[in-house]
Structure 1
């Protein structure tokens, strides 16, 4: 999937632009006017996952969505900057370059950890609204083996091609989405299938998985004063709702709002609900 294809066949392509801020070539989508809301997707996602949330929020906000390094249409400029602290540095450089002053950050899954690092130490009045935030490492043996496996695959073009071939089939995409506990539209399934056919996107996802470590963030949770509202799909099979609640108990300014019947992709299943929750936070 290349830039030319996106500009003709990707959601909100008319709002896409590309900007060089070292070390990456970023894909950005912007729409609407008013206070700025920055949208951060999770690992293996892209701006497409916010497509309906963006349309809703753009009625009364300036909405900015970015593809994280190596994801979607953002071209990775370094294979060694996909860890949480370095990705936070690079996203902050982009924010500074563009002059954005977010009134809030809306994040999904691993994007929530990134949002916390961006807001930590800044004006603590800027809230983070996170959908099914992934703030804890994998437990037990999986916590050791999964990053190793991702690292091995990210270094092996042959293994990456095998995984890409397996993930990009329609049946495999449906099976993968079932592991999230969410029911998304056929359009959403087709967009994920496009992503998974992209060598660059797969490479960027594997590099992030291989370098992503949350131990430092977990240790810092008790001293992070960012006001956080965590929107949890109670049917999430990817990030256990219990782990989100455990993280919240350690944080001085965090709350959880649960939504029965929704899964990990709550923002795609119920975009209006998520947009209205963000508005409610900003009205406080």
Structure 2
């Protein structure tokens, strides 16, 4: 049986637990956090007489809703209604029973699953912000006609296939590890060592606070979460996504931490070159920040997002 984090035990200490709820959608039981828009008429996203725009935040492989713990309320303060799910197989969101949604950890499967969640909530995001693989999910949703936001923001987006030797080794190795039933439990036991977690986080190029390290420690020590992350990596295929980027019709802003050791910062201009001119919302480089830039310096990412949003949707006087 798949082991998972226990909400009854960990929930009271989870960031913004008072904003959490569980939603049944697309054959999954989702953990979702919701933040109401704040700021009224003074907020940048406000429109007189209209509902606030919805922003959807999608974390990367191996992370969870906690990744947006500082970013989400700050974005709500700018006038957005903010939705933050744990992706399938991650943290407190489960996987469908056998015979359910086919391969929900693949890129198309995850895009369809997130759409199912949004349909159950009867909302359509005007803004999608994705970190790493979360950005790929966002673009897959747009390209497949599952979402039509005004802007997608990729924070160190994993949008291109691995090149060279890593590309030849990484996916097959992930598929092999994901297929071995004892690997998640073994990884979780090894990750209980503080030095192992420190090494994993150092590999992102980001410097996290004590709370961030505690939360990632909970995740990597849970075999169910590890199995979901490994399954996602094993099912991931970015070649098709990159081939389809030239037909993207939604503006894409790329926010890149120059110290990112997970996704090469040089990938951002390569992605930009693939986009049609109308979809190029620009590349913003954040000096000294790593793969988890939105956790290290949420205000810097928000500044870049705000400027792009206002270019696309200027507020009335």
Backbone CA RMSD of aligned residues: 1.5
Alignment partner, residue 55 of structure 1: 73
Partner deviation per Cα, 1:101-153 (whole Å, 9 max, x = no partner): 21100110011111011122467661101100000111223223222222222
Q: What is the rounded CA distance, in whole Å, between the counterparts of 2:20 and 2:210 in structure 1?
A: 23
Larger Rg: 2
- Determine which of 158, 174, 193 is the counterpart of 2:217: 193
Residue by residue, what CA displacement relative to the aligned partner does 1:148-197 show, whole Å, maximum 9, x if unpaired? 22222222222222222222322111111111111111111111000111
Q: Secondary structure at the match of 2:162?
A: coil
In structure 1, C-alpha distance between the alignment counterparts of 2:303 and 2:255, rounded to whole Å: 11
Gaps in structure 2 of 5+ consecutive residues: 38-51, 312-317
Aligned to 2:261: 237
Given that 1:47 and 1:67 are in contact with CA atoms closer than 8 Å, whether structure 2 keeps it comes out as yes
Distance 1:240 1:32, change over 3 A: same
Q: Note if contact 2:25-2:117 (Cα within 8 Å) is conserved in structure 1.
A: yes
TM, length-normalised to structure 2: 0.86
Distance 2:149 2:85 in 1: 22
Label 1:92 to 1:125 Cα distance change in 2 as closer, same or farther (>3 A).
closer
Q: Is 1:102 aligned to residue 125 of structure 2?
A: yes
Is residue 27 from structure 1 mapped to residue 46 from structure 2 by the alignment? no
Structure 1: distance between partners of 2:263 and 2:295: 16
**Residue 129 of structure 1, aligned match among 153, 159, 180:** 153
Residue 283 of structure 1: SS of its match in structure 2?
Answer: helix
8 Å contact kept, 2:150–2:251? yes
Quote how far apart the aligned CAs of 1:78 are.
5.1
Unmatched 5+ residue regions in structure 1? none
Q: Deviations over 1:71-125 (max 9, x none)?
A: 1110111572211011111111111111122110011001111101112246766
Q: Encode CA deviations 1:258-283: one digit per residue, 9 max, x unaligned.
A: 11111111000111122232222221
- Runs (4 or more) in structure 1 with deviation over 3 Å come to 121-125
